[in-house]
């Protein structure tokens, strides 16, 4: 299996007035072709920042300090100053123009809130034209509109509605439009940041279903960022759990739910209600995540970890191979 | 005098804060002001009967015919619309089209009436007619819109009416003045107001009344020109510099802030002194002073707009900078720039008055409110109160009109202030 995306030791800092907060701390990941990787964790654990850092669009005052991101291209991409060669390119080394060529064309991104991610002053069609023309300037407006209509139709939206303005659509419809917009360039990788969090449960289920179908249809590789483990159980092939900017555990979805290794993953799963076990006692994790401006030494989970040991307060655990085929960062494993 | 005028506006500024509490009283004052201006302009225009050119009545009635046509067409068009015999494009363009047709029809008439200056007369009729039509359409179609906004809406409406009335008067001035405003020795110098010279004469014997009617031209030209120049420089610079950010933004901000830190009038005087007198030079020197206000407003807007979710979404989909600037940022910046622009008008007028006051305006024979103010200031001690008073009133009215428009628009278009 080929890796589409490879992240190596990525570090993202937010420089705030109080000090430097490390939102993503030496994260390494790979995403295989046609797989869906779920990024899970509490809010503020750095999962969204990681998603954006992959596209090199960290919101101000964030900054990628170190690390590299590689993307596999299956064709040459021409852009204003040259051509990106087929094969692996290092996103973190691209110039602005090349980056623009990759954004939207090879990696697409879907935001959490569909209500605010469409320009209220442009028709839906104009959005399509804008993106298509940004990536191939020669394309005629009519052709672009045709492409847009096709995509809308495949998402169950009447093609005539391409002339409507965003405010004429409901939340779920807008998210479909956003998905359509991100897929119109046939990207290989789709990063979806809480794509259904702001929608109601029924629409959420529909959209997740549609995304799964589209993934098949367009041969997509996906990164799904969410705090909702239920969503991941349905959609993800692999899950990476993050805590305070670090990866705790990566495993296939099945393994992770059956046999979680890391105490944080275990605690997280304990706190999810399960319809098949109505008498399961829900628990929560005592305490709150530490302040990232003043990071704790050692494993950052130690004040809340039921199995904390002395070494946990001193030494940062490394990612090691766990018994069930995944990787885990905890001193309980790896013969530490 | 300039400081006095400025003082009036400071007062107005503080009064503005209490608008909501005294909205009724305020509306009454506003109504009185607008009515006063309109009555004043109407009276001055009525002097067309005594026009020395002899065609005053023709010109005025020409504009009235145009405006009347527009009014009728507007009424008929809306009746049609009610009867579902649709006027497809809506009543306003239809009414304007009728007005333009009327104007075109008047071309041969004015050529017959006045051989030598027929075309000039016709263009004045056309322009004046359009301004009048604008006022009528604004009243008919604008009123329901502005009514929703309560007092700020009325402010805008009143302000625009005042300004348009003065523009109308200035536009047709050449044909309606009772005496040539430039000619000296029309009457005995320093005659106090009397039947023959209702506003007296200057110490050169020019007729004050004619000068008051015609004197707005310079100021309006300077104001319009400087505001347009300002807008065309300030907005693009603000957009480009602050969108990309970085070193360029820092340098431009620094330059703008240093211009902003200068006292406006002093800077304008310095530049005008370098360029020499003249309408264009005055406009340029005023424009330089006010570019930073556009820049700052645009910049602060761009910084917030850049963070909007849909702008980020566009960037993340690889949209071109050009698209983002023109279709995402610019439409968001425009309302507040228009607000700055309308407030800017009043400032430009006062600065123009100030420039003329220190002798950087136009030659003495040109009819200009600013000049008569300056000159009148010297002779007021001799008891010739009429020389500065009447132009002073006009300047205040014009500036007031622009200020009302600006402040009203400000409150309508920037709803944050209402909280
Ligand atoms: S390293 Fe220690 S503190 Fe951290 S999760 Fe493992 S056992 Fe708990």
Largest Cα separation within chain A, whole Å, is 67
Is there a contact between B317 and A111 if contact means CB atoms under 8 Å apart?
no
Spatial distance between the Cα atoms of B327 and B244, rounded to a whole number of angstroms: 16
Q: Quick one: how many helices (H) and strands (E) in chain A?
A: 9, 14
In this structure, the number of other CB atoms found within 10 A of the CB of residue B199 comes to 22
B261 is a domain residue: yes
B315 vs A: CB within 8 A: yes
What are all long-range contacts of A229-235, with beta carbons under 8 Å and residues at least 24 apart?
A229/A40, A229/A268, A229/A269, A229/A272, A230/A272, A231/A38, A231/A196, A231/A204, A232/A38, A232/A40, A233/A257, A234/A208, A235/A36, A235/A38, A235/A208, A235/A211
Q: How far apart are the first and last CA of chain A?
A: 31
Query: Distance between alpha carbon A207 and the CA centroid of its chain, in Å?
Result: 16
Residues B406 and B305 in one domain: yes
State pTM to two decimals.
0.72
Residues 86-145 of A with CB under 8 A from B: 100-105, 108-109, 111, 113, 116-122, 126, 130-131, 133-135
Give residue A7's pLDDT.
92
| A39, A14 contact by CB (below 8 A) | no
Residues B264 and B405 in one domain: yes
Residues 282-311 of B with CB under 8 A from A: 307-311
B312 is a domain residue: yes
* Cis amide bond preceding A61, omega within 30: yes
Residue with tokens 């430009």: B348
For residue range B226-281, what is the model confidence (pLDDT) as tens digits? Answer: 889 988 998 889 888 888 777 888 899 999 988 888 888 888 888 888 888 788 88
**Helices B264-275/B279-305 angle, 10° precision:** 130
Q: Does residue B418 have a pLDDT over 50?
A: no
Residue with tokens 């979806």: A192
B205 is a domain residue: no
| A268, A68 contact by CB (below 8 A) | no
> Of A267-281, A296-310, A321-335, B16-30, which range is least confident?
B16-30
CATH 1.20.272.10 assigned to domain A3-106+190-333? The reply is no
- State chain A's mean pLDDT as an integer: 86
Residues B151 and B262 in one domain: no
Give residue A190's pLDDT.
92
Minimum-distance CB partner of B318 among A59, A60, A101: A101
CA distances from residue A301 to A9, A38, A335, B211, B419 in whole angstroms, order as listed: 20, 21, 19, 84, 44
Residue numbers in B near A118 (CB within 8 A) = 310, 313
What is the secondary structure of B309-374 as a DSSP string? HHHHHHHHTT--HHHIIIIIIHHHHHHHHHHHHHHHHHHHHHHHHHHHHTT-S--TTS--HHHHHH
Protein residue with its CA nearest to atom 4 in ligand 1 = A299
Q: How far is the CA of A68 from the centre of ligand 1 (A)?
A: 27
**Which element (helix H / strand E) includes A68?**
strand A62-73
Decide whether any atom of ligand 1 lies within 6 Å of the A128 Cβ: no
Give residue B20's pLDDT.
52
Residues B147 and B35 in one domain: yes
Residues B170 and B221 in one domain: no
Task: At B166, list the tokens.
Answer: 């003065």
The ranges assigned to domains in chain A are: 3-106+190-333, 117-186
Protein residue with its CA nearest to atom 1 in ligand 1 = A330
User: Which residues 6+ apart lie within 8 Å of B333 measured at CB?
Assistant: B235, B238, B239, B298, B301, B302, B305
Q: With bands split at pLDDT 50, 70 and 90, how would you rate the model's confidence at B417?
A: very low
Nearest CA-CA distance, residue B317 and chain A, Å: 4
Residues B171 and B223 in one domain: no
Half-sphere exposure of B143 (CA within 13 A, CB side): 6
B208 is a domain residue: no
Q: Which residue of B306, B308, B310, B331 to mutate against A (max A Cβ within 10 Å)?
A: B310
CA distances from residue A334 to A48, A77, A267, A316 in whole angstroms, order as listed: 29, 43, 20, 13
Residue numbers in A near B320 (CB within 8 A) = 100, 130, 133-134
Task: At A307, list the tokens.
Answer: 């199995």
Q: For chain B, what is the domain count?
A: 2
Spatial distance between the Cα atoms of B210 and B279, rounded to a whole number of angstroms: 20
The CA dihedral of B313, B316, B321, B325, to the nearest 10 degrees, is: 10
Helix (H, G, I), strand (E, B) or coil at B385: coil
| A16, A293 contact by CB (below 8 A) | yes
What is the best residue among A314, A330, A334 to mutate for testing ligand 1's pocket, by most ligand atoms within 8 Å of CB?
Answer: A330
ipTM of this complex prediction, to 2 decimal places: 0.81
Residues B222 and B126 in one domain: no
Decide whether any atom of ligand 1 lies within 6 Å of the A243 Cβ: no
Decide whether any atom of ligand 1 lies within 6 Å of the A260 Cβ: no
Is there a contact between B320 and A100 if contact means CB atoms under 8 Å apart?
yes
Give residue A69's pLDDT.
92
Number of A to B CB contacts under 8 A, please give it. Answer: 68
Decide whether any atom of ligand 1 lies within 6 Å of the A172 Cβ: no
| B282, B363 contact by CB (below 8 A) | no
What's phi and psi for B143, nearest 5 deg? -55, -50
Protein residue with its CA nearest to atom 3 in ligand 1 = A302
Give residue A250's pLDDT.
92
Name A328's bridge partners. A249, A320
A48 vs B: CB within 8 A: no
B374 is a domain residue: no
Residues B221 and B159 in one domain: no
Residues B128 and B271 in one domain: no
Q: Does residue A230 have a pLDDT over 70?
A: yes
Q: Which domain holds residue B84?
A: 22-176
B7 is a domain residue: no
For residue range B80-119, what is the model confidence (pLDDT) as tens digits? Answer: 766 655 555 567 777 788 888 888 877 777 777 777 777 7
More confident: A198 or A46: A46
Residues B86 and B150 in one domain: yes
Q: With bands split at pLDDT 50, 70 and 90, how would you rate the model's confidence at A9?
A: very high
B237 is a domain residue: yes
Q: Does residue A241 have a pLDDT over 90?
A: yes
Nearest CA-CA distance, residue A18 and chain B, Å: 22
Spatial distance between the Cα atoms of B217 and B168, rounded to a whole number of angstroms: 10
Residues B159 and B255 in one domain: no
Task: At B3, list the tokens.
Answer: 């400081």
Q: Which residue of A56, A61, A97, A117 to mutate against B (max B Cβ within 10 Å)?
A: A117
Residue numbers in A near B318 (CB within 8 A) = 100-105, 131, 134-135, 185
User: Counting beta carbons within 10 angstroms of the beta carbon of residue A75, is it exposed (0 to 12), middle (13 to 18) or buried (19 or more)?
Assistant: exposed
- State chain B's mean pLDDT as an integer: 79
Residues B165 and B224 in one domain: no
Spatial distance between the Cα atoms of B414 and B235, rounded to a whole number of angstroms: 18
Give residue A335's pLDDT.
57
Query: Distance between alpha carbon B292 and the CA centroid of its chain, in Å?
Result: 21
A60 vs B: CB within 8 A: yes
Residue with tokens 């359009």: B130
Name B73's bridge partners. none
A59 vs B: CB within 8 A: yes
The CA dihedral of B189, B192, B194, B196, to the nearest 10 degrees, is: 20
Q: Find, among B1, B18, B45, the residue nearest to B164 by Cα.
A: B45
Spatial distance between the Cα atoms of B351 and B283, rounded to a whole number of angstroms: 10
Give residue B21's pLDDT.
53
Is there a contact between B328 and A119 if contact means CB atoms under 8 Å apart?
yes
B372 is a domain residue: no
Q: With bands split at pLDDT 50, 70 and 90, how would you rate the model's confidence at B23?
A: low
Nearest CA in chain B to A53: B316
How many residues make up chain B in this entry? Answer: 419
Pairing of strands A319-321, A77-79: unpaired
Decide whether any atom of ligand 1 lies within 6 Å of the A296 Cβ: no
Q: Find, among B79, B71, B75, B77, the residue nearest to B94 by Cα.
A: B77
Spatial distance between the Cα atoms of B144 and B164, rounded to a whole number of angstroms: 19
**Which element (helix H / strand E) includes A20?**
strand A20-32
Protein residue with its CA nearest to atom 6 in ligand 1 = A330
């Amino acid at each position: 299996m080929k890796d589409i995306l490879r992240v190596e030791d990525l570090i993202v800092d937010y420089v705030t007035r109080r000090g430097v907060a490390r939102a993503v701390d030496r994260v390494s990941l790979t995403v295989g072709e046609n797989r869906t990787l779920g990024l899970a964790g509490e809010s503020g654990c750095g999962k969204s920042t990681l998603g954006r850092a992959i596209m090199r669009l960290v919101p101000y005052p964030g900054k990628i300090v170190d690390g590299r991101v590689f993307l596999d291209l299956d064709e040459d991409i021409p852009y204003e100053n040259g051509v990106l060669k087929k094969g692996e390119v290092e996103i973190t080394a691209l110039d602005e123009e090349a980056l623009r060529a990759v954004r939207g064309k090879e990696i697409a991104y879907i935001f959490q809130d569909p209500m605010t991610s469409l320009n209220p002053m442009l028709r839906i069609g104009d959005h399509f034209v804008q993106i298509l023309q940004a990536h191939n300037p020669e394309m005629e407006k009519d052709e672009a509109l045709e492409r847009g209509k096709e995509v809308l139709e495949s998402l169950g939206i009447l093609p005539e509605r391409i002339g409507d303005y965003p405010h004429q659509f409901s939340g779920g419809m807008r998210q479909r439009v956003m998905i359509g917009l991100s897929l119109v360039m046939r990207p290989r990788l789709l990063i979806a940041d809480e794509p259904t969090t702001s929608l109601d449960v029924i629409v959420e289920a529909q959209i997740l279903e549609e995304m799964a179908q589209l993934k098949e249809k367009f041969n997509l590789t996906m990164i799904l960022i969410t705090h909702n483990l239920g969503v991941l159980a349905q959609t993800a092939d692999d899950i990476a759990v993050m805590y305070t900017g670090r990866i705790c555990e990566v495993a296939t979805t099945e393994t992770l739910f059956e046999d979680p290794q890391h105490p944080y993953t275990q605690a997280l799963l304990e706190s999810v209600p399960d319809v098949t076990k109505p008498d399961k006692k829900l628990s929560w994790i005592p305490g709150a995540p530490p302040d990232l401006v003043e990071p704790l030494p050692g494993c950052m989970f130690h004040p809340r970890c039921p199995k904390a040991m002395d070494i946990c307060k001193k030494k940062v655990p490394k990612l090691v191979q766990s018994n069930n085929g995944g990787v885990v960062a905890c001193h309980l494993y790896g013969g530490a | 005098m300039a400081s006095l005028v400025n003082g009036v506006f400071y007062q107005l500024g503080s009064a503005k804060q209490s608008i909501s509490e005294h909205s009724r009283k305020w509306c009454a004052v506003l109504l009185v002001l607008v009515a006063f201006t309109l009555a004043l302009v109407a009276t001055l225009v009525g002097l067309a009967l005594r026009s020395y050119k002899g065609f005053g009545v023709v010109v005025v009635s020409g504009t009235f015919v145009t405006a009347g046509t527009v009014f009728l067409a507007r009424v008929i068009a809306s009746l049609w619309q009610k009867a579902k015999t649709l006027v497809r494009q809506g009543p306003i363009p239809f009414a304007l089209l009728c007005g333009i047709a009327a104007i075109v029809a008047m071309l041969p008439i004015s050529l017959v009436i006045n051989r030598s200056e027929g075309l000039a007369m016709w263009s004045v009729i056309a322009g004046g007619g359009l301004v009048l039509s604008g006022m009528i359409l604004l009243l008919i179609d604008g009123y329901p819109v502005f009514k929703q906004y309560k007092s700020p809406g009325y402010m805008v409406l009143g302000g625009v009416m005042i300004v348009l009335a003065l523009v109308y008067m200035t536009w047709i001035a050449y044909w309606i003045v009772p005496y040539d405003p430039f000619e000296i020795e029309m009457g005995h110098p320093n005659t106090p107001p009397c039947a023959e010279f209702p506003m007296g004469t200057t110490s050169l014997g020019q007729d004050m009344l004619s000068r008051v009617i015609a004197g707005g031209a310079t100021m309006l030209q300077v104001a319009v020109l400087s505001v347009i120049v300002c807008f065309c420089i300030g907005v693009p610079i603000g957009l480009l510099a602050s969108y990309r950010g970085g070193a360029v933004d820092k340098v431009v901000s620094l330059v703008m802030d240093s211009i902003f830190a200068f006292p406006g009038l002093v800077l304008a005087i310095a530049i005008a002194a370098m360029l020499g007198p003249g309408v264009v030079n005055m406009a340029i020197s005023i424009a330089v002073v006010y570019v930073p206000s556009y820049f700052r407003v645009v910049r602060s807007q761009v910084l917030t707009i850049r963070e909007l979710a849909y702008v980020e979404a566009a960037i993340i989909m690889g949209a071109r900078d050009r698209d983002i600037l023109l279709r995402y940022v610019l439409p968001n910046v425009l309302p507040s720039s228009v607000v700055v622009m309308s407030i800017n008008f009043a400032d430009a007028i006062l600065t123009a008055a100030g420039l003329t006051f220190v002798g950087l305006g136009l030659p003495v024979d040109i009819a200009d409110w600013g000049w008569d103010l300056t000159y009148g200031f010297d002779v007021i001690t001799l008891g010739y109160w009429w020389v500065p008073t009447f132009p002073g009133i006009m300047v205040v009215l014009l500036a007031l009109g622009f200020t009302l428009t600006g402040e009203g628009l400000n409150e309508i278009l920037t709803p944050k202030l209402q909280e």
